[in-house]
Amino acid sequence: MNARRRHAPRRFAAGAFALAFAAICAAADAPPPLSPEPFFRFADFGSLQLSPSGNHIAGLVPSRGRRSLAVLDLATNKIASLSTFDGGDIVRFDWVNDKRIVFTISDLQSGLGEDRGGGLFAIDRDGSNFRELAPTIRKLISETRFVYRYTFLFATLSDGSDDVLVLSNESSARYPDVYRLNTSTARKTLKTLDRPGDVIGWVADNDGAVRAAVTEEKGTTTRVWWRPKEIANWTELGSHGTRGARVLPVAFDGDGSLIVASNVDRDTFALYRYDLEQRKLGELLVAHPRADIAGGIRFDRTKNRIVGVQYEAERPGTAWFDDVGRGCRRRSTRRSPVTSTTSRGAAVRARSSIRSPIATPGPTSSSTSSAASWNSWPRCARASSRRRCRRASRYVTPRAMDSRFPPT
């Protein structure tokens, strides 16, 4: 008994040493703690857009802690960094033509209510001919302007010029007008001098002609207007109050037919072709039993018609109207690092401002910087240009929707 008591401290010390040694070995074999930085840093590249010719891809890349704009030449695989704003991030851009790009900025590191960005800028794809088209909020504040005057991109044109359509409240602080803006000279031409009233939303066709509008009267009555061409008189299509069913213009198809969003006899908004002769809803284009579809139209310039609709339901998706889009969906189900690529030559967004525009804030200074590291971007971009369709993990087939589609 005494011998056991004498050896007990030794056994305890040996056991403690064994446990400590095992803990040290486990700690040595354990992986290092995961850094939170990858979850909060910008993606290596994003918001990819093909140029109208399909020979270049523009995208947003991280540079010096900010998001900047760069262009990849698909023929040479060379990347050109176009613009970086000190204290700001480029948040949206569009191709004006195959040479020129228009963009706006914001400060993604600022808190809510502290953003002072916005503005509108243009630059050539080689980084030259930079032009400020509209000042940022920060610049307006520094100039002590008491009325906020904004200029937002409304639509790009397909005529090959340096012009775009913009929304601006220069003539009326509350109700915007549509201007044709030259991105090289910053000169604007008013296109909506004969407005039908206090317009809160405009819709242009695919040639850039402003042909539909929504007006308000005393904040209680909304009226919808249409005209067959830009030089014609306005015709009222209908009116509605603040509650109840309504019909709102969304876009124009290639044949000139008006596309509207309506919740008449429905719980959700759906897209219809509007019968202008009978002044009533026509063919149902697409509907969803649980989500509103009031925009997101994809227009194919080569086919001169609508080819699909993007929507937000339980998860985002796209319903294609023809077999080409569905073929893109099937081919792009393979895993690809390209998350979102669109081609202006193939599909463009509808030209509508029925939803009120919101400024995108950001700072005003500009500078150039070297291109960020896009290790796999040239390969991904080439694959994307061949597909010319979005990644389809979020697409649904028309059978998954309560929909009817126009004939192809």
What separation in angstroms does the CA of 123 have from each of 106, 153, 199, 210?
17, 15, 31, 26
The CATH number of the domain where 289 resides is what?
A: 2.130.10
Handedness of CA 116, 167, 350, 133 (dihedral sign): negative
- Per DSSP, the three-state class of 385 is helix
Q: Which two tokens stand for residue 205?
A: 């066709």
> What's phi and psi for 43, nearest 5 deg?
-65, 155
Is 143 within the bounds of a domain?
A: yes
| Predicted pLDDT of residue 247 | 92
d(CA 380, CA 338): 6
Is 3 within the bounds of a domain?
A: no
Instruction: Tell me the residue type at 384.
Output: S
- Per DSSP, the three-state class of 324 is helix
Handedness of CA 10, 11, 12, 14 (dihedral sign): positive
In the DSSP assignment, the letter for residue 29 is H
The answer to whether the CB of 154 falls within 8 A of the CB of 166 is yes
In the DSSP assignment, the letter for residue 370 is P
The answer to whether the CB of 230 falls within 8 A of the CB of 212 is no
For residue range 141-167, what is the model confidence (pLDDT) as tens digits? 887 777 888 899 999 998 889 999 999
Is 18 within the bounds of a domain?
A: no
Is 5 within the bounds of a domain?
A: no
Is 201 within the bounds of a domain?
A: yes
In the DSSP assignment, the letter for residue 84 is B
Is 33 within the bounds of a domain?
A: no
Instruction: Tell me the residue type at 77.
Output: N
Q: What is the residue range of 93's domain?
A: 43-382+394-400
pLDDT band (50, 70, 90) for residue 18: low
d(CA 122, CA 83): 10
For residue range 77-135, what is the model confidence (pLDDT) as tens digits? 888 877 767 778 888 999 999 999 999 988 887 777 777 778 899 999 988 899 999 88
Q: Which two tokens stand for residue 128?
A: 């030259």
This prediction's pTM:
0.72
Is 220 within the bounds of a domain?
A: yes
The answer to whether the CB of 378 falls within 8 A of the CB of 71 is no
| Predicted pLDDT of residue 320 | 83
Is 307 within the bounds of a domain?
A: yes
In the DSSP assignment, the letter for residue 400 is G
Q: How many domains does the chain have?
A: 1
